[in-house]
Amino acid sequence: MEKTEQLSRKKLLSVAGLGWMFDAMDVGILSFIIAALKVDWDLTSNQMGWIGSMNSIGMAVGALVFGVMADRVGRKNVFIITLLLFSIGSGLSAFVTSLTMFLILRFFIGMGLGGELPVASTLVSESVPAKERGKVVVLLESFWAGGWLIAALISYFVIPHFGWQAALIITALPAFYALYLRIKLPDSPSFNAIKTTEKKESSLRKIAKVWAKPYIKQTTMLWILWFTVVFSYYGMFLWLPSVMVMKGFSLIQSFQYVLIMTLAQLPGYFSAAFLIERAGRKFVLVTFLIGTAVSAYFFGNAESLGLLLTSGIFLSFFNLGAWGALYAYSPEHYPTEIRGTGTGLAASFGRVGGILGPLLVGYLVTADVSIYTIFFIFAISILIGALAVLILGEETKQKELL
């Protein structure tokens, strides 16, 4: 029986992880495509910022809508809808010839991305025992590094020779295979247990419950944490290839160096997965967020290639390890009937930060503000998130989900 359950968990992790990986491929490829579109479409810095921000606007809407929907129609159904939405949108965006149409499709792609991620972590959290839940969710998040790595490889080898359109088509097609696998996936045992007994509540009542007295402290903490992490991540990483170009490297060189930095994401995830059940969620989040802030500071200051690559590698290592812990930590603060809503709302508020981050970089670059100042702002943001966890956060290691 135990062996069967282990195989089932491995299947869940692999199927959910594939979808997660294709999410990451799409977000990762976007950072390289923004740099390529600047050349092809002669974009301004403000227009480049809007591409990343429109993606995050869609993610904010998707996290809210699909998070609430997951508590009504099930985690699996939302999982399928969101993957279909961003796969089709990504494929179609390869054929557009104007920035306006590209932005419209990025909104719908973002909806799929923003809806899938919190729902996937909720489904996996509800399907594994408490003693290994954190580790498994961080391992799920580690598929993000695989997706970014594939995106970096496609960008380095495909975009310079075949164009950004070919890269988008390549990233869209495999997602349909993940969709096929996901149809056979069982829904969350926790959701199945309550859907026959739970009295149906309106979505507004579920949203109100998230801010009710028993949950107000953890909701406040999660909203601050999500906002600061997403604001800094999308502000820094969507602009990473472009920042390398601003520092004097060619487009191909910038793709090559970002690929090297991306390799550090995997050990970041694996170290977080190793520590999260031993040292706890709070320790991993606070430590990795502080590491991210310090790395961001040095990356912004870097003048030499050596310091730039070293700080970029540590930035990837700590930031993505913190992301893994964030997805493990968030669903553990709510009961089953509002878990999708609570996690989705926190992620949705975080995506507001994802809207502002890339826009801020675009406007600051246009105003000739230094890269050092821009990355210092992101470092401060991350430290605020770490402080919120330290002061308001509760340790949820091995907590049984109700």
Question: DSSP per residue over 106-118, as a string?
Answer: HHHHHHHHHHHHH
Which helix or strand (DSSP H or E) is residue 229 part of? helix 216-237
Rg of the chain (C-alpha set): 20
- Alpha-carbon distance 13 to 225, whole Å? 25
Average pLDDT over residues 85-110: 89
| Mean pLDDT computed over every residue of the chain | 82
Identify the three-state secondary structure at position 102: helix
Instruction: Tell me if 338 sits within 8 A of 211, measured CB to CB.
Output: no
Tell me: the pLDDT tens digits for 3-44? 445 546 677 777 778 877 887 888 778 878 888 888 889 888
What pLDDT band is residue 196 in, cutting at 50, 70 and 90? low
Residue type, 69: M
Q: What is the pLDDT of residue 2?
A: 46
Instruction: Tell me if 168 sits within 8 A of 93, measured CB to CB.
Output: yes
Q: What is the pLDDT of residue 187?
A: 66
Among 30-39, 150-159, 222-231, 242-251, the least confident range: 242-251
214 part of a folded domain: yes
Count how many Cα atoms sit within 13 Å of the Cα of residue 399 in the half-sphere of its side chain: 18
Q: Which two tokens stand for residue 338?
A: 């509002």
Q: What is the pLDDT of residue 202?
A: 66
Other CB atoms within 10 A of residue 211 CB: 13
215 part of a folded domain: yes
Tell me: the pLDDT tens digits for 340-351? 788 888 988 988
Whether the per-residue pLDDT at 174 is higher than 70: the answer is no
Whether the per-residue pLDDT at 386 is higher than 90: the answer is yes
- Alpha-carbon distance 270 to 324, whole Å? 9
Q: What is the pLDDT of residue 273?
A: 82
How far from each other are the two terminal CA atoms of the chain, in whole angstroms? 23
Average pLDDT over residues 310-339: 87
Number of domains in the chain: 1
- Alpha-carbon distance 82 to 88, whole Å? 10
- Alpha-carbon distance 209 to 334, whole Å? 10
Q: What is the pLDDT of residue 212?
A: 85
Residue 297 lies in domain: 8-183+202-392
Q: Assign residue 299 the CATH number of its domain.
A: 1.20.1250.20
Q: Which residue has the higher pLDDT, 223 or 308?
A: 223
The 3-class secondary structure across 362-383, one letter per residue, is HHHHHCCCCHHHHHHHHHHHHH
Identify the three-state secondary structure at position 172: helix
Percent of the chain with pLDDT over 70: 90
- Alpha-carbon distance 319 to 24, whole Å? 14
269 part of a folded domain: yes
Instruction: Tell me if 111 sits within 8 A of 65, measured CB to CB.
Output: yes
Q: What is the pLDDT of residue 4?
A: 43
Whether the per-residue pLDDT at 88 is higher than 50: the answer is yes
Instruction: Tell me if 120 sits within 8 A of 70, measured CB to CB.
Output: no
Q: Which residue has the higher pLDDT, 360 or 130?
A: 360
Q: What is the pLDDT of residue 56?
A: 80
Whether the per-residue pLDDT at 217 is higher than 50: the answer is yes
399 part of a folded domain: no
- Inter-CA distances, 248 with 156, 160, 259, 397, Å: 18, 18, 17, 45
- Alpha-carbon distance 33 to 8, whole Å? 37
Please tell me what DSSP assigns to residue 312: H
95 part of a folded domain: yes
